[in-house]
Amino acid sequence: MKKYIFIGVAFFILLLITMFFVTNRKVINKDNEVIMIREENDDSTVLLKYYPENNYIVENRVYFSNPNYNANKKENMVVVKKVGDIDEIWEITQYKDTDSSFKDIRKIYTGENISNPKFIPNKDVISFIKDNYLYVLDINQNEESKVLNITLEDYEWMDDVNVLYTEKSSDDNYNIMKYNIETEEKTLFRTNASEVSLSSNKEFLGYRLGDNKNIVRIESLDAKKVIYEVKNDYDFGKFKVSDDGETLIASIYKLSKSKVVKINCKNNKQKLIIDSVLPSTIDWKYVK
């Protein structure tokens, strides 16, 4: 009899513990998600997914690189797969209720030396870097166009015709340029600036200030003014600004040390996300 009482009590305690963890488990908001790629020594890649609201990170070894969220369908990503010496651009999506399994939707393009593919807003058109040039591909018409030479691989679409990118001037300074793919007009957008990064809602601009690798400026594009200047003891690598312009997810490095941090732009305080990582890609999606 005592044996059955003991089993009953043990079962009841286990049930209470289970209910406690289920009740107190944080619900992960997957509509607010940051993706990063960590390249391994064996040429494989690890996808890091970070959820800022929960300070929660998931790591998965994946078969692709250069992921960016689809600007028109943010549950999907556009990625590069390596097949021998050939690069393939794919649109993929993640299976629901899993953090590790992805489904191929369609192969978009095949070529060599391809990086940083992105969907252009409001169009079934992608852009990518190939041999230091920005290309645009109309997927439905299968029409490929060489647009312009790019000094650095960072670029951002402001809308469906205007792209921001970094250009090195004749006096060896970096400037952010704006190029209209319809009118082919190029204009100076910001002087003494590089490493352009836009929030997912296209309202806030982040960029590195000239040769100061440890300073990132945040601008409100609507107000047309600098709202924050974020300084760090480390140099900035890749970074992405939040949709309210108040948070920066950034990789930072100094000598052999590197890490990814979440920075409050108001007070410059930072929280460690993951140590000893210098991602080759950072993108942030926020779905209201």
Tens digits of residue pLDDT in 121-153: 999 999 999 999 999 999 999 999 999 999 788
| 137-169 burial: b if 16+ Cβ within 10 Å, else e | bebeeeeeeebbebeebbbbbbeeebbbbbbee
Measured CA to CA, the distance from residue 117 to residue 145 in angstroms comes to 14
Neighbours of 192 (CB within 10 A): 15
CB 175 within 8 A of CB 167: yes
Q: What is the DSSP letter of 170?
A: T
Q: Is 64 helix (H, G, I), strand (E, B) or coil?
A: coil
* Contact residues for 132 (Cβ-Cβ < 8 A; gap 6+): 149, 150, 151
pLDDT tens digit sequence for 86-111: 999 999 998 766 666 899 999 999 99
The pLDDT of residue 58: 92
Mean pLDDT taken over the chain: 89
Q: What is the pLDDT of residue 19?
A: 47
Yes or no: say if 91 and 106 are a contact pair by the CB < 8 Å rule.
yes
pLDDT at 9 over 60: no
Nearest 5°: phi and psi at 24? -95, 0
Q: What would the two tokens of residue 117 be?
A: 């593919």
Q: Which residues of 12-27 are buried (b: 16+ CB within 10 A; e: fewer)?
A: eeeeeeeeeeeeeeee
* DSSP codes of every residue in 211-256: TEEEEEEEEETTTTEEEEEEE-SSEEEEEEE-TTSSEEEEEEEETT
pLDDT of residue 101: 80
Cα angle value 56/203/163 (rounded, 5°): 105
Query: The whole model's pTM is what?
Result: 0.87
The edge-to-edge listing of strands for the beta sheet with 247-254 is 235-241, 247-254, 257-264, 270-275
pLDDT at 18 > cutoff 50 = no
Burial class of residue 285 (count of CB atoms within 10 Å of its CB; 0-12, 13-18, 19+): buried
Q: What mean pLDDT comes out for the span 249-253?
A: 98
pLDDT-wise least confident of 50-59, 155-164, 234-243: 50-59
* Residue 264 pLDDT: 97
* pLDDT of the residue at 105: 94
Identify the H or E element spanning 14: helix 2-24
Let me know: does 202 contact 159? Beta carbons within 8 Å: yes
Please give the pLDDT value at position 27.
Answer: 76
Report which of 111, 114, 92, 87 is spatially closest to residue 103, judged by C-alpha positions. 92
* Res 64 pLDDT > 80: yes
